[in-house]
Amino acid sequence: MDAQIKNQIKLSFLSVNENVGFARAAAAAFAAQVDLTLTEIDEIKVAVSEAVSNAVIHGYGLDKQKQNYIEVIMNLYQGKLEFIIIDYGKGIANIEEARQPSFSSDPERMGLGFVFMESFMDEIEVKSELQQGTTVRMAKHFVPITEH
């Protein structure tokens, strides 16, 4: 029962800063179909914003010449919202290190992206392969309202 997808949205968009806001607004809209508090919706927005920002900034980085795409898959399960963010960029050499607080390749950045994702979501899983890309799968649990 748990594995049954009740709703799904797939998005594919160019890796540009402007689309980060679109992705988190879409995530918030998708999350709004279940009974969550405003705080929980805000948490999803931050987590998705971080994952998509990472794909734009680090996944594809300076490679602005090509048309690079980011995919976001949003799944609704019984009691669980899942967000999968996929890029086909340069990948992460050391995932353990990248997930540490204050790890950042840029002094202007805080290295808190993964900290927020971990704090705000109930599940997070990162898969990455150099020169192949990175997939971040996150999920938030909720108590489903019993249907009468």
Partner 1 sequence: MLKVVTAMKQGVLVIKLEGELDVCGADNFRMTVDQALDETGAKNILLNMQAVSFIDSSGLGVILGRYKRINQLGGKLLVIHLEPQVQRIFELAGLMKIFTFYKSEEQALEQL
Q: Mind telling me the catalytic residues?
A: 50, 54, 109
Do the beta carbons of residue 46 and residue 83 sit within 8 Å? no
**Residue 127 binds partner 1, judged by CB under 8 A:** no
Main-chain phi, psi angles of 141, to 5 degrees: -90, 150
Binding region for partner 1 (CB under 8 A) out of 45-53, 68-76, 79-87, 122-130:
45-53
**Residue 110 binds partner 1, judged by CB under 8 A:** yes
Residue 130's nearest CA partner among 104, 92, 88 is: 92
**Residue 29 binds partner 1, judged by CB under 8 A:** no
Using CB under 8 A, pick the residue from 49, 68, 75, 135 that binds partner 1.
49
Size of the site for partner 1 (CB under 8 A): 27
Residue at 148: amino acid letter: H
Between the CA of residue 2 and those of 59, 71, 74, 75, what are the distances in Å?
31, 24, 16, 12
Residues that bind partner 1 (CB under 8 A): 17-18, 20-21, 24, 38-39, 42, 45-46, 49-50, 53, 56-57, 104, 106-113, 115-116, 119
